[in-house]
Amino acid sequence: MSEKQIVLITGASSGFGALTARAVADDGDVVYAGMRHTDGRNAPQVQAAADYATEHGVDLRAIELDVNSQESVDAAVARVLAEHGRIDVLIHNAGHMVVGPAEAFTPEQLAELYDINVLSTQRVNRAVLPGMRVRGAGLVVWVSSSSVKGGTPPYLAPYFAAKAGMDSLAVSYAAELARWGVETSIVVPGSFTRGTNHFAHSGKPADAEVEAAYETRYAGLMDQVAQKLAALAPADADASLVSDEIARIVALPPGQRPYRVHVDPADDGSQEVSEVADRVRREFLARVDLSDLLTVERPRSHPRAIELFVEATNAGDTEAFVSAFAPDARLDDWGRVFTGHDGIRAWNRTDNIGVQAHFDLLDVRAESAPGTYVATLRVSGDGYNGTGPMRFRLRDGVIAELRIG
């Protein structure tokens, strides 16, 4: 793609995340590598990302992003938007694994794991998706797991359940974002015992007594599973296979990104089952007359906020018109200044819908400042008639400032 994309990835301090951040940056995009504790535990990873950017001449930036904190998520997204005005690609990679007999984990531990692997994506989505929907374009990549539909050895139940929840959320989001022009790609890695810290950093059960009881019947089970998984994978099965595939998808033109791909050298059966499940999904959506949700609408050529400004005016819809503006918006009409939603309503009443204005959007041109556009409109109605520019500054998908004249 000719224009640099703005990419945000979660859980990018190590493993798939760190590798993906570098692979996507290598393709020329601007990559924000989200990680927590950037001033503490992950300070070496921040430096490593900066060193990589310098050595390879790429735009890779570590950013403080704790997916378990809405405040942290919102701050990270706000920083990206302030610096670039948009996020083109969101990669959900953050996650955590635990190993041990399911009974030995407390309900609180399962809730914590669900929070990290599932609820975290919802926090980030609610911060990023409004901007994508307004622009009518974007890509959300979900890093799932072959355990969702493939072979599932014991002692990994809490992790498998959480990843299944994340995958199900991704499937529903794919349909719900299709009419907004936002694409979904679900990347399904198999078990990789090299290049990731999944097993090394995995959590343990809180109930040591129950864990010990299971050890009397299942002694050494996790070592056996790990050894067998390593033996099933080809010698060249490295985690970079996953990051390279994600980078390939990100680089594809809109409309050509796959819905689901598998990167599973051990071949645990996930792809075979997924093909059946995805076929059933397609057939069911067709049965309920929702086949259009299987394809994504073409990206909009203009920012949605500007389109809404025009559409609401032409429809005489005051509420929709006001909703296109930020609550603290500023409108300058040849030196007459109106602020906030009350001010926007006043201008709309005296100079826009109130005088039956009609807009023809002739052109929209992005300026160098992030989120700033100059639109050329032909205006007709009972007030001003003529053609001229309007300068829009967008913030979080709505109009923060409008200058006329």
Instruction: Tell me which residues of the chain have a pLDDT lower than 70.
Output: 1-2, 193-201, 298-301
Report how far residue 168's alpha carbon sits from residue 271's, in angstroms, rounded to the nearest whole number. 16
What's this model's pTM, rounded to 2 decimal places? 0.74
In this predicted structure, what is the pLDDT of residue 193? 64
405, 334 in Cβ contact below 8 A? yes
CB 89 within 8 A of CB 139: yes
User: Measuring CA to CA, which residue among 46, 49, 143, 141 is closest to residue 93?
Assistant: 143
Domains (range + CATH), the chain: 6-294 (3.40.50.720), 304-404 (3.10.450.50)
Q: Which two tokens stand for residue 175?
A: 């349909």
Instruction: Report pLDDT for 1.
Output: 41
Active site residue 32: no
Judge contact between 147 and 163, C-beta under 8 A. yes
Active-site annotation holder among 32, 52, 114, 159 = 159
Query: What pLDDT sits at residue 195?
Result: 53
Q: In 3-state terms, what secondary structure has residue 85? A: coil
The span from the CA of 402 to the CA of 108, in Å, is: 49
According to the model, what pLDDT value does residue 93 have?
96
